[in-house]
């Protein structure tokens, strides 16, 4: 049961798996005045999801396509591991609204796991506030799994800096909490992660991205099978994005 909520941790999840903007398969929903689209392709050294090394050290290739107009956004994301029989398809739809420095969204995601012949449905909601000093953004995301009947939540602080006209740096600190979402894992404080990402604009439409993340497991329980892949570990990835 994975969900990766990025912009370029996906290209690289944003996603995961979920991760404040660390590893999301889709860009955080927000309002758009005109119709906009994004296509991503990327590689991650690990599938980082809910603070866990979801593929136990194996890598993941992913691709996605997103469209957004005014308050509505929709996307399709597909990930597959070249190292084991694992793939995942996500179909997402979200509504968003902004109130000055505050943006909120409500979303739905249908997940399918063709190799495992499984599926799940998730309801997600989030809020971000960009009114903090030094252009720091505070964001929170919660998502509910219908299959597991549980929640997972993330709180993140993010800062983006333009180093040159083409190169930008993003730094994120993410705290995650499990409440039945990873049904066989422990409930409560789950992980803390630090992410550093770079984006380089090749043209007005094409962007190259790279990111690295270190995650620390919190309150890991050896007696909980779902905590087997909850560990301290480093991972990274590369990706390419086309915007139109």
Is residue 9 domain-resident?
A: no
Is residue 111 domain-resident?
A: yes
Is residue 11 domain-resident?
A: no
Is residue 18 domain-resident?
A: no
Distance of CA 70 to the CA centre of its chain: 22
CATH for 77: 2.40.160.40
Is residue 1 domain-resident?
A: no
Is residue 10 domain-resident?
A: no
The reported pTM is 0.85
State residue 26's pLDDT score: 52
Instruction: From first to last of the 244 residues of the chain, give the pLDDT tens digit.
Output: 444 333 333 333 333 334 433 345 555 565 566 789 999 999 999 999 999 999 999 999 999 999 999 899 999 999 999 999 999 999 999 999 999 999 999 999 999 999 888 999 999 999 999 999 999 999 999 999 999 999 999 999 999 999 999 999 999 999 999 999 999 999 999 999 999 999 999 999 999 999 999 999 999 999 999 999 999 999 999 999 999 9
Contact residues for 77 (Cβ-Cβ < 8 A; gap 6+): 4, 10, 25, 26, 62, 63, 64, 89, 90, 92
> In angstroms, rounded to a whole number, what is the distance separating the alpha carbons of residues 79 and 66?
15
Residues linked to residue 210 through DSSP beta bridges, in sequence order: 198, 238
Is residue 20 domain-resident?
A: no
Domain, as residue range, for 225: 32-243
Q: Number of structural domains, the chain?
A: 1
State residue 34's pLDDT score: 76
> In angstroms, rounded to a whole number, what is the distance separating the alpha carbons of residues 145 and 94?
16
Contact residues for 162 (Cβ-Cβ < 8 A; gap 6+): 168
Place of tokens 């050290």: 57
Is residue 121 domain-resident?
A: yes
CB-CB contact of 14 with 174 (8 Å):
no
């Amino acid at each position: 049961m994975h969900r990766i909520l990025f912009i370029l941790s996906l290209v690289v999840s944003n996603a995961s798996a979920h991760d404040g903007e660390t590893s999301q398969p889709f860009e955080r929903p927000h309002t758009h005045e005109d119709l906009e689209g994004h296509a991503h392709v990327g590689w991650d050294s690990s599938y980082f999801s809910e603070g866990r090394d979801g593929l136990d050290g194996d890598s993941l290739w992913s691709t996605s396509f997103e469209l957004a107009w005014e308050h509505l956004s929709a996307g399709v994301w597909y990930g597959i591991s070249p190292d084991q029989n694992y793939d995942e398809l996500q179909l997402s739809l979200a509504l968003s609204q902004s109130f000055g420095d505050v943006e909120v969204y409500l979303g739905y995601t249908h997940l399918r796991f063709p190799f495992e012949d499984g599926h799940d449905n998730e309801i997600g909601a989030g809020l971000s506030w960009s009114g903090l000093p030094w252009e720091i953004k505070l964001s929170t995301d919660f998502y509910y799994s219908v299959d597991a009947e549980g929640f997972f939540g993330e709180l993140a602080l993010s800062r983006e800096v333009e180093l040159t006209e083409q190169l930008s740096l993003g730094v994120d600190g993410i705290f995650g909490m499990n409440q039945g979402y990873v049904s066989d894992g422990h409930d409560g404080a789950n992980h803390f992660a630090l992410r550093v990402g770079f984006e380089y604009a090749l043209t007005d439409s094409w962007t190259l991205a790279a990111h690295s993340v270190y995650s620390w497991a919190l309150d890991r329980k050896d007696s909980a099978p779902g905590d087997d892949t909850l560990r301290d570990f480093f991972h990274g990835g590369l990706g390419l994005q086309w915007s139109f």
